[in-house]
Structure 1
Amino acid sequence: MKKQVCLQCGDIGFKTDLIHCAKCSNHSIHRYCMDVMPKNKHESVLWLCDDCEKEKKLPDKSLPRKTKLKEKIPIDQEPNKNQEKIQNFSNPLIGFRKVQSLVHESDVIAMPLIRSLWTGNFLILHNKSIYKSVDGISAFMSSKACEKVHKEAVLFKQELKFELFPKSVLWPKKFGNSEPSDDNIALYFFPSLLQKQNEGIYDCLVFEMIRDDLAMMASVENAELLVFTSMDLAPRFKRFQGQLFLWGVLRKKKTRH
């Protein structure tokens, strides 16, 4: 029998999280790979693959929704796409500019810069015991981050020692209940191109963090490095080149008495 893989990530991943097409049962997708992720692993999900979705007629109720949106912005009041506006950028996390900038309505999406700032290993602890070691990880600065991120990342030790926590413990207050955008990414973490054999271990870590709703924290030279999965980002930023990934922010160290 042919093994079914996720249509989105192309991997078997966690078999228990595979959802099969409700019509043909020939295709599957992981719960954590869906654009709108189910609230929990027990939630019933009705999903159709692309082929079955095309055969299915679109419901009429989708039309009024578009009309409603259009009614809110009359044609003669629609903003000019080329119009520039001034926005104040303010972020309590380290490495994001607090300046006035001219931005276009269609803001440029953040990208990892070409050269990595750091390549090393993740040693991950859970309840003070070694949980996993992931070798050959590279950190890339976001094109929207500033010099503070660069200065801190180049000081990272060869081995970063992380502690796993429930995501809710590390989630920055600034994010609240919303899904962060690419504006909030300081660093991207990917498997090193020179050590491709570690991609599977990296992917496994990402999937486990998603499944168990976890995040990681490491104490670095002048800050705390918080690492989350891309499933915590807004839908359009969840994947880079079709893959889920890890991203990080830097937070001022908390004073301990």
Structure 2
Amino acid sequence: MDPRPQAATARIRSDVAHNARVWNYWLGGKDNYPVDRAVGDRVTGMYPSIGEVARADRAFLGRAVRHLAGDVGVDQFLDIGTGLPTVNNTHEIAQHTAPHARIVYVDNDPIVLAHARALLTSSLEGATEYVDADAHRPEQILRAAEPTLDLGRPVAVMMLGILNFVLDGDEARSIVRTLMAAVPSGSHLVLTHPTLELGGEGNEAAMRFWNENATPPITARSREEFASFLEGLEILEPGIVSCSRWRTSPREPEVAQFGVVARKP
């Protein structure tokens, strides 16, 4: 018997709200506890558009993966901070377009690990793997991904709503640099990040409440700070925008979450 699921379950705490489960609640999922729903409802009361942010972030993931797998021809994805499985996961979208695509999911949340089997449903032609690793340790992530991904060929490195849990800006930039240095020209970086801009000013109190009542702590960043993660990369059109407006109608309502896709030259 594989001891890993039992070990992961033993690490799960149901008395403290956790981001993966609260995000799942905002997306309409059922993999959450009463404490997650209570904190999620309090945050929603303080910042009513948080559910729209969660849904826009998820829709952005779909558009970015479809573009990279279909239009660009990227067939390897390193999805860091994947969160709990839901509909239209990265591997499902990528392999719908490119059945041979290979995907590695990375997370270190125990409830995500306990649900990992739901992610490991690859097409016959491709591969899907899950790595239990911390985003703060990019070298560990790269080593663990190598059995599944060929790092000598282009990789899409996806970090949706994950760098906001790396509170130190220098460390966050170092993580991105380490990851992108390990992949070749033609690789892409896909990012989303909450901000107090784009109408997100009301989120400040909600984030403060979150940091006092849930885990892990979170931070917002400005457009300039967000752009600093993209140093040396070519930013794809339409640039740094609200993730709800990335390759959608300009009439689409903005959410306070930056989104961008950039290419390593």
TM-score calculated relative to the size of structure 1: 0.23
TM-score calculated relative to the size of structure 2: 0.22
More strand by share: 1
Q: Which has the larger radius of gyration?
A: 1
Q: Which has the higher contact order (CA 8 A, sep 6+)?
A: 2
